[in-house]
Structure 1
Amino acid sequence: MYSSAQLAFKYLKYWLTASNGSGHGVHSPFVFDFINNVLNDKREFDSFRFIENIRAELKDNQKEINVPDFGAGSRMQLNNKRKISAIAKSSLKPKKFSQLLFRIVHYYKPQSILELGTSLGITTSYLSAANPSAQVITMEGAPEVAAVAKNNFKQLHLSNIKVIEGNFDDNLPAVINQLSSVDFVFIDGNHRKEPTLNYFYELLKITERTTILVFDDIHWSRDMEAAWEEIKEHPSVTLTIDLFFVGLVFFRIEQKIKQDFVIRF
């Protein structure tokens, strides 16, 4: 894991060298469309307020729950007891990126959505609300964390979510065997090279030309950067977009020339 100072330096370099996010000079109609209709979509949807109210409640929740440690990339402390407020403050994806996931799903309308790493269910809620007709499968290793997420889904009246509990390093192959294909996947799991690549290669079994994979924290460590580079180089991948904190992977066979974009967001 990079130190805060190292990450800040990397982010500054990214900010100074990335495409400016306006779409000008981007030689890809698909990416130009993505920038204008997803990245630069400033609309506030009704569901945003309700989900962010839940986030605020979680940050104030002093209840302690059991959280097993799943390794170096889990961003969880070694002790098993943690306050919900501490989990909310350290593990939830920020509003900006949670709402980016919403906008991706809202725009491309994937019907099958998979999330590796439910945590307290904030990103899951955004994915679900973005397309209520989709099937959302989310995987969470800690049963008591999953229970909090399920309660949040109930409060938000989200009925298209299936939660699978247990270490998804073990459970993912079984989930993939049950799916013929997947349209959208958000991977926020074990932030190490080998597990991340294992998830990628497992997911390749059910990707199609319209599938979108979103990897969290691609610059979190040298390990994650190495995994991101290997994913970018895979022959099935035709287009990637690096937004620093997340990386998007596309398999568009109509993309004749492989392209990798770094875009300011």
Structure 2
Amino acid sequence: MFRSISYIKFLLTSNNQHGIHSPFVYDYITKCLYVKQELKLPVTLKVLVKSLEYFKYESIFLVGDYKKSKEIIKKHCPKIAFVENNADVILSNINDLKNSNLDLSNLPNDCMLLVDEIHQHKDNVESWKNLKTEDNVRVTIDMFYCGAIFFRKEQVKEHFKIRI
């Protein structure tokens, strides 16, 4: 029930590319997320695979148990390296991220953190809100199913809700 109500609230407060005034986010949405591809994947993995290709990321760190996801990532992005330090992308669900000892303040400028299940439960929504307030977090994109966080120092702190 919580997720259904949360989704309705999300739909009422989110936009598509027409409400975006950040060139970085606009390009990411229109040239990456909205590009049609025949990917029969869960939404978060679809966002991940498209992002890996769009940003030409070379490495990923999976926080938590992502065995099936790892195989899917290998299939769609065979050149991606799975690492634990200095990753270009970090994939985690919100609970694993909370329980990890990942230091967000030391992540590289161009790193993307993709957080799964941000609207699954009320606690997850609160955790997502807390992540957005971290000092070095510059851009957050709430896509309901997942959220993307960017740490670009050159970017003004902005938060977006985007329908994908």
TM over 0.5: yes
Q: Using a 3 Å threshold, how does the CA distance of structure 1 residues 188 and 197 change in structure 2: closer, same or farther?
A: closer
Q: Report deviation, 1:198.
A: 4.3
Greater relative contact order structure (CA < 8 Å, 6+ sep): 2
Shift of 1:207: 1.4
Tell me the equivalent position of 2:3.
7
Distance, in Å, in 2 between the alignment partners of 1:109 and 1:125 is 19
Whole-Å separation in 2 of the counterparts to 1:203 and 1:216: 18
Which amino acid in 1 is paired with 2:140? T
1:31 maps to 25
Match of 1:168 in 2: none
Q: CA RMSD in A?
A: 2.1
Structure with the greater alpha carbon radius of gyration? 1
Query: 1:48-102 CA distances to partner (integer Å, 9 max, x unpaired)?
Result: 5xxx6xxxxxxxxxxxxxxxxxxxxxxxxxxxxxxxxxxxxxxxxx533322211
State the alpha-carbon separation in 2 of the partners of residues 29 and 129 from structure 1.
31
Work out which of the residue numbers 39, 42, 54 in structure 2 matches 1:107: 54
Is 1:259 the counterpart of 2:141? The answer is no
Distance 2:98 2:64 in 1: 16
Contact map agreement 2:2 2:122 (CA 8 A) in 1? no
Alignment of 1:137-216 (within 5 A): 137=83, 175=84, 179=85, 181-188=86-93, 191=95, 196-199=97-100, 202-204=102-104, 206-216=106-116
Distance apart, 1:206 and its partner CA: 4.8
TM-score (norm 2): 0.88
Residue 78 of structure 2 corresponds to 132
Which of 94, 97, 109 aligns to 2:44? It is 97
How far the C-alpha of 1:220 sits from its partner, in A, is: 1.6
CA contact (8 A) 1:127 1:136 kept: no
Aligned to 2:19, the other structure's residue is in SS state coil
CA distance in 1, matches of 2:49, 2:71: 9
Structure 2: state its 5+ residue gaps: none
Gaps of 5+ in 1: 53-93, 138-174
Q: Is the 8 A contact 1:197 1:231 kept in 2?
A: no
